[in-house]
Amino acid sequence: MNKFAKVALIAFVFALLFAPVFAFAQGTQAGGAATVVNSSLLKNLISIGAGLAVIGAGLGIGRIGASSVESMARQPEVAGNIQSAMILSAALIEGAAMFALIICLLGYFVG
């Protein structure tokens, strides 16, 4: 893994994990009542986190597809097993991406 890929991975994890935390953070007024933090910078970070989640899922599913087609070309007799594993892996990646996207969008619209 080259240096750019490591930096991109760290930025992706940071945006994915910490942007919703900031979105749901609450401040207090003088009277003690809680108010939701509402800043344009925060909404921009949440938007970037949602975009990175979708881009990451697309890259992951693309790599799975490329690897599975290459494997099927090398060993056509196990194509059914490879296809089943590919579909399962793509579904898990898509589920994780949808979860991240929903969390980011909730932070954007609720916050």
Enumerate the domain spans of the chain.
Answer: 3-110
Res 111 pLDDT > 80: no
Average pLDDT over the chain reads 79
pLDDT at position 77: 95
d(CA 43, CA 111): 8
pLDDT score recorded for residue 62: 92
Task: Give me the CATH code for the 3-110 domain, please.
Answer: 1.20.20.10
Interatomic CA distance for residues 86 and 13, integer angstroms: 24
What are 9-35's pLDDT values in tens digits? Answer: 777 777 666 666 555 555 555 554 444
Mean pLDDT of 50-72: 90
105 compared with 70, residue with greater pLDDT: 70
In whole angstroms, give the CA distance from residue 109 to residue 46.
10
Is pTM, for the whole model, over 0.85? no
